[in-house]
């Protein structure tokens, strides 16, 4: 590729529309390679499909082995250019769907709709990345900011193994484009995501016969009921703070004062400030029932992705380029997390650039080809953009 003038937005969109059939073929190959997060042995097939595509585009592909996951993939341009900044396309090739889902939820393409397990979340986004790189090469454009691609296979289960790779790459990137699906059928980009915490509260009490000597016992269930009310009082919907006791467990049998109980708590926050405040409140919980004690474990696994100055700069760039494509972009806050939550702490991050459709993790999962190709065109233009203002990057 050479440093040729940036092609017109319409030319980029027209070219990608001409690749519609190729996109459907890519989607079918990836979707029919089932890749549930919790079965690492299934991941080799989908990773090899993707690696082969990037190698066809003359990228150097590093296949990173996993110990607890199916591994990762890092693709970069073959030629190194000293002093040139890099940008990262970030995504995952694992899905929530178990092996065998295809038998009852097969890949289907009819008119503008493509259906199948994982096609929306987020194999569609991977197809977009491949088409965007192919478009750069078609127009013989060498971006001023060199594109890297990092894909993992454990995003749906918390990115426990891949997180350290993502956090080591992010500080060296001018910006990160997250290939997660857009927010809802309207195709909104995700400019903020909630941070996610998981806590376990274990209560220890004292067993006793509930009929013969109840006063000798200390009910862990009674204490847990007080704890649960305290936890729910931490909710602040106006500030985007949600604290949900999702599961509880405890006791031995109806005629025994419960010696133990446990609650698992999901916490979502819109800011790091609220994350720190809520975590302190949970970790400082104290028992109010005589004879009981509490043990609180857990924390925030994903930080909040906030609308930082750098992230806002990237959003404004997307809006300007969207205008060139005739797109009226909208933004939204996602209650769920992604790997963009990690990168946003280190560099400008824009999420939800992937497929447009609906039904993530649901039986009606699908994407809209026309709108998804428009997002691929937007991604291509973003890759061609100059570096962001260094003064607005996170310090």
Confidence of residue 392 (pLDDT cuts 50, 70, 90): low
pTM of the predicted model as reported, rounded to 2 decimal places: 0.93
- Best CA proximity match to 136, nearest among 89, 187, 74: 89
H helix intervals, the chain: 9-18, 20-31, 43-56, 124-138, 163-169, 220-232, 272-283, 309-325, 340-343, 369-384
What is the DSSP-derived secondary structure letter of residue 354? S
Q: What is the largest CA-CA distance in the chain?
A: 88
> What pLDDT is attached to residue 1?
46
Percent of the chain with pLDDT over 90: 95
Which domains can be identified in the chain, with CATH numbers?
A: 9-193+304-392 (3.40.630.10), 196-302 (3.30.70.360)
Average confidence score pLDDT of the chain: 96
Q: How far apart are CA 17 and CA 99, in angstroms?
A: 32
Q: How far apart are CA 30 and CA 50, in angstroms?
A: 8
Beta bridge partners of 325: none
pLDDT tier at 394 (50, 70, 90 boundaries)?
A: confident
Cα→Cα distances 316→61, 78, 311, 375, Å:
32, 31, 9, 16
**pLDDT tens track for 126-141:** 999 999 999 999 999 9
Residues 148-196: tens digit of each pLDDT: 999 999 999 999 999 999 999 999 999 999 999 999 999 999 999 999 9
Mean pLDDT of 225-247: 98
pLDDT digits (tens, 9 = 90+) for 352-374: 999 999 999 999 999 999 999 99
Give yes or no for residue 309 having a pLDDT over 50: yes
């Amino acid at each position: 590729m050479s440093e040729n003038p940036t092609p017109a937005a319409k030319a980029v969109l027209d070219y990608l529309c001409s690749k519609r059939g190729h996109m459907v073929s890519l989607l079918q190959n990836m979707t029919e390679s089932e890749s549930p997060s919790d079965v690492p042995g299934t991941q080799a097939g989908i990773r090899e499909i993707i690696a082969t595509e990037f190698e066809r585009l003359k990228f150097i592909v590093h296949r990173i082995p996993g110990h607890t996951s199916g591994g990762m993939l890092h693709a970069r341009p073959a030629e190194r250019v000293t002093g040139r900044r890099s940008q990262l396309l970030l995504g995952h090739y694992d899905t929530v769907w178990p092996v065998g889902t295809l038998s009852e939820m097969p890949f289907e393409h009819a008119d503008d709709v493509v259906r199948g397990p994982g096609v929306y979340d987020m194999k569609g986004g991977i197809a977009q990345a491949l088409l965007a790189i192919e478009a750069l090469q078609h127009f013989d454009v060498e971006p001023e900011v060199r594109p890297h691609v990092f894909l993992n296979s454990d995003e749906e289960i918390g990115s426990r193994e891949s997180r350290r790779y993502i956090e080591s790459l992010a500080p060296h990137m001018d910006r990160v484009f997250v290939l997660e699906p857009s927010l809802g059928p309207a195709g909104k980009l995700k400019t903020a995501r909630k941070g996610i915490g998981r806590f376990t509260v274990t209560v220890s009490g004292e067993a006793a016969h509930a009929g013969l000597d109840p006063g000798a016992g200390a009910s862990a269930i009674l204490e847990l009921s007080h704890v649960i009310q305290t936890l729910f009082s931490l909710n602040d919907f106006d500030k985007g703070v949600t604290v949900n006791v999702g599961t509880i467990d405890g006791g031995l049998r109806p005629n025994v004062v419960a010696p133990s109980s446990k609650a698992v708590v999901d916490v979502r926050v819109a800011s790091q400030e609220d994350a720190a405040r809520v975590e302190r409140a949970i970790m400082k919980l104290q028992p109010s029932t005589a004879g009981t004690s509490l043990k609180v474990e857990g924390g925030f696994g994903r930080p909040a992705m906030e609308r930082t100055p750098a992230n806002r700069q990237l959003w404004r760039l997307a809006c300007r380029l969207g205008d060139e494509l005739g797109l009226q972009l909208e933004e939204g806050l996602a209650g769920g997390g992604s790997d963009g939550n990690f990168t946003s702490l280190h560099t400008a991050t824009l999420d939800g650039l992937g497929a447009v459709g609906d039904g993530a993790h649901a039986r009606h999962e699908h994407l809209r080809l026309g709108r998804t190709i428009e997002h691929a065109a937007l991604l291509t233009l973003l890759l061609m953009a100059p570096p962001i203002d260094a003064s607005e990057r996170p310090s």
